[in-house]
Structure 1
Amino acid sequence: MSTDRPIVLFDLFGVIACHQRPGSMDEMAALSGAPTDVFTAAYWACRPPYDAGQWTAPQYWTAVLRWLSLTAGPDTIEKLRLTDIDSWSRVDDRMVAYVQSLRERAEVALLSNIPADHADAFLTAQPWLHHLDHVAFSGKIHAAKPDPAAFRHCIVAMHAAPADFLFVDDREENVRAAQATGMNGHVFTRRDELAAALDSWLPTQ
């Protein structure tokens, strides 16, 4: 290996952090004045450039509202932005503890699709992130999974070879993309299954 220790590279949402808070789409749709189903379609259709750091939050929300043939002032856009950030703010405390415990056996890093302003809020609210060996947020590195550039960023930043990594994500599409770069991959379903996979992959001490 090109590093002293193997690297476990984690996705964030759906693995360590929870998926979007239930009811959040209804709340944001009400703020926009659009039905929830139509709002949800616009929210996700416009998301990729925001996740990849190509759009700022105001540009993203203006695009969502334009998709809905709506307009809103700065105050409404800021309410939408803050509600959106809050909707993605929960973590699984057991997974946080497990991830931190792995640092005794491996280097531990994070690769998440998350807009830059969301990333700033998450870093402030979750100080444990600062103790990982590397943190890569798509909005900061300007590449979002499954773009190979997102994985290459981690390889270069950690001065490692692709085979040094085990990438853990709850989306099979992203795991396949990581494997295409030469990384090892694991599709996350449950913590106990992940623990068994890591016990098998990590060198015995």
Structure 2
Amino acid sequence: MDDFPRDAGAATHDNADPRRIVLFDLFGVIARHQRPGALEKMAARCHASPDAFTTAYWTHRPPYDAGRHTASVYWTNVLNALSRPADAGTVEDLRLTDIDSWSRVDDRMVTYVRYLRDRARVALLSNIPADHADAFLAAQAWLHDLDHVAFSGKIGAAKPDPAAFRHCVVSLQAAPADFLFVDDREENVRAARAAGMHGHVFTGQDALAADLDAWLPTAG
């Protein structure tokens, strides 16, 4: 973790919650990465090679994650790149398979995140398309207990864009130095630190707990 001075230019509010804020990434931290074999399954659905499908899938992903493209536009672009017909049935099958492939959570980390709410404000900042976010919110009731949830497809900015971090600072009426951002991707943690937050590159719950025990005020 790095120590930063409080940002004098940040918005302050007399009635703001003074507790520190742990801002979590979702995938690779609280939720699992994409289900193994999912890309191959989707490639087979549109009769494409796994390599070609994977390239098209990720090439067209950023505007979908950032809420600039709908699911229909995203999947049409992927299928067009593969020279495959973008009929409504194929698009919907791919969309639902994709959502399911990102639906798993780490139950141990969910329990830990809920425990932390007794010691700090807890929020989430995730790169995830809007329709995936809706599915996650419907399936994971614990998300509704967090102090703030920011999904890139909903807020129109994806990490490491500084606008994604600014959204959280403004929404939680805090200063950047009040945050510790937790992500498994080092480039996102660097971006959070550049925005004035503390940062932790997630490698496992035990290392995170040790860092948070040092950073958070002692209970009581």
TM-score, normalization by structure 1: 0.99
Structure 2 match to 1:75: 89
**CA displacement at 1:161 relative to structure 2:** 0.1
The 1-side partners of 2:192 and 2:18 are apart by 21
**1:88 equivalenced with 2:90 (yes/no):** no
Deviations 1:151-170 (A, max 9, x none): 00000000000000000000
Q: Which residue of 2 aligns with 1:31?
A: 45
In 1: Cα distance, 2:135 partner to 2:172 partner: 24
Deviating beyond 4 angstroms after TM superposition, the runs of 4 or more aligned structure 1 residues are none
Residue number among 5, 9, 15 corresponding to 2:29 in the alignment: 15
Aligned partner of 2:161 in structure 1 is: 147
Query: What is the aligned partner in structure 1 of residue 116 from structure 2?
Result: 102
Q: Helix, strand or coil for the counterpart of 1:166?
A: strand
1:77 Cα deviation (Å)? 0.4
Q: 2:80, 2:86 within 8 Å by CA — same for their partners in 1?
A: no
Equivalent position of 1:57 in the other structure:
71
The CA distance in 1 between the partners of 2:168 and 2:193, in whole Å, is: 14
List alignment gaps of at least 5 residues for structure 1. none
What do residues 61-117 of structure 1 show as CA deviations (whole Å, max 9, x unaligned)?
001111112213101100000000000000000000000000000000000000000
Q: In structure 1, the residue corresponding to 2:117 is in which secondary structure?
A: helix
Q: Larger % of helix: which? A: 1
Normalised by the length of structure 2, the TM-score is 0.92
Question: Whole-Å Cα distance in 2 between the matches of residues 56 and 5 of structure 1?
Answer: 37
* Structure 2 portions without partners, runs of 5+: 1-5, 7-11
Question: What is the distance in 2 between the residues matched to 1:11 and 1:153?
Answer: 14
**C-alpha RMSD over aligned residues:** 0.8
**How many residue pairs end up in the alignment?**
205
Please tell me the residue identity of whatever aligns with 2:196.
G
Q: How far apart, in 1, do the equivalents of 2:127 and 2:86 lie?
A: 26
Name the amino acid aligned to 1:173: E
1:183 paired with 2:197, answer yes
Q: Which amino acid aligns with 1:112?
A: S
